[in-house]
Structure 1
Amino acid sequence: MENLAHTCVGYVLARTGLGRWTPLGTAALVVGANLPDIDVLYTAFGDHAVYLEHHRGISHAVVGLAGLSVLQVGVLRPFQRRVARNGSAGTISFFRLMILSLIGVSSHFLLYFTNSYGIRPFLPFDDRWIYGDCVFIVDPWIWLILGGPCIWFAVRRRWLTALYIAVALTATALIFMFRDGALPLTAKAVWVTGLAAIVWVRLGYRERWTPNIATGALITLSAYWAGLAVLHEIAVRRVETRAEVRALSEPIRRMGVLPTPVDPFCWVVIVETDRLTLTGEIKLYETPEQTTPFLSRPRHMEREEVKTALATPQGQTLLRFARFLVADPPEETEAFPWCYATFDLDRRAYAGLALSPCRQYRCADQAHRRRRVLPSLG
């Protein structure tokens, strides 16, 4: 998830009353909710192989969760007494500060568990990825559920009000322009109603409402996630009944039904066998007659040049990172090298993250529009 969502979660947790449990309690929750993204410090200075190897790595594992919590307490603890002398509420306590740090860091862990980006919770002992596949990595509905309460809580901070208005306008534009207005009218109505409710409550907000509103927002978020889990299960069952899937002549190696931005009723489908990958979309509000056929493309994993490239250290890094992988051959008339595309970061049914031996790579297949480059692969 992006850091706006993490920050909102940490701040709403603090306003349930946890932030007053000990001095710097709010800081422990808000900073802790973002702290695992410290991995950008050691992934930003290497090549793309280093980035893939360590991105969402140990800082997003259980071991990292504990270590980052201890690190945060070590930084905040010396300032607790100074803050308490300035009138901060709560009892000065190492134990309470540690609990709040664990809660904040764990919230980051939980948000990544819900989406299709995935986490490796058992590093360094086991590098398996686990995917929730329910929540898109940037979800405006989370901004609506948690952002509104955040702006109520910050009623005296005008700059936060201005920031939320900017975010709300941007998200509203995304909602109404998404796929040329293809989002169902019901979803648009819910969005507008939610914004109107935020404005209405903001005008008459009372400070004594804060703990109940914060708790209600977290309950609403949990209910939203539960609803997405139900929709995901319905989408999975529909995929399993599709004629293209039933007609496959070889066993399915793995299948993913991934969320799309904005629309909780539309899911990207990726079905992988040894030789080919099916990609497409499932829209739960469409009838069988309205569905678009899945696209089929060969994976080319059996080609010798592909095996050679993937046997390199950089290729092995890609294999550990990629959830769904295809090799994309160059056109016969072009001098471009092979391209390796993984579908797990891009929600479009036909696009993906691509890695190639060259520094500047343009693929003739315009379906592959967004690409990262791994200079030394191959």
Structure 2
Amino acid sequence: MKAFLILEDGNVFTGTSIGAQKEVISEIVFNTSMTGYLEVLTDPSYAGQAVVMTYPLIGNYGICNEDMESLKPWPDAYIVRELSRIPSNFRSEDSIQNFLEKYEIPGIAGIDTRALTKILREKGTMNGMITTNEDYDLNEIIPKLKEYIAVSVVEKVTCKEKRILKGAGLNVALMDFGAKDNIAQSLNRRGCNVTVYPALTTADEIMKSNPDGIMLSNGPGDPKECKSIINEIKKLYQSDIPIFAICLGHQLMALATGADTHKMKYGHRGGNHPVKDLETNRVYISSQNHGYVVDVEGLDSNIAVPAFVNVNDGTNEGLKYKNKNIFTVQFHPEACPGPQDSGYLFDRFIEMMEGSK
């Protein structure tokens, strides 16, 4: 069946319908990863977005449920050049087409994703519609696209009640703003007893559990929308509990301490972003998924200083807080994009917790 991707600037791409056959309006973003499409699909940070995969062939190694980063996929839609119908992998349990249908994710294949990505890079992230209706009316659709805003996405993706990954070591409270499963698992593999809390849990409840450390997770959407969460993080900041924050958690901590954030032109989404640790001058290849960034120009150096920087565009990739056991990063240390990735940051967090006991 024919499908159409209509962008708010009036560009239209014609391809083939994949996954669920339903109409959807969403923010269109692109991911440059060559592998890891299942991890992308099941990353809650993509809630409220339709994902364009720049790598031309998607689905060739099938679906392995063990690799999922959450219980279900979160993007509104999926956009690819070519969808592999016959996966080849001894671990494969299903095809990506069946996976998209099962979870009612619509999509489009057979379009020029390179041309689409160039438009998004040059003009910036924009909204779009995927439809199978051949009688679409641009004059009617484009105003709807320009009006669309994804709201309350953190509340949509967070867990509904707290859960525990048992361990014999340090007790970590993980605030779930849309956490990838491997964050809790990375702590648990290091012996930590991890309690995962819903996003709207109060700071008082967290502190009453007397954790050795607090983890603020990744998540979707505009960080400035999370006003009640930011107020609770302000209270956590006033405590002496060690805190490590990733992605959205990094942005929320910055906002809670008086810094500002802004939306990027087209964001960082992929598995090949170089970041420099400003303390060691060592560069790491990182996995990233964010459309907002912390403004370092207005950063109060008495509160925090830049700890990591993006080598490509110079944007902030992490902060170290003064006179506090707090550090935050914009990228994903729980992912493994390079042979020597940034998983050591979890070890640094554990050393910080041990040092503060």
Shorter chain as denominator, the TM-score bin is under 0.3
Taking structure 1 as the reference length, the TM-score comes to 0.24
Q: Structure 1 or 2: larger strand share?
A: 2
Taking structure 2 as the reference length, the TM-score comes to 0.25
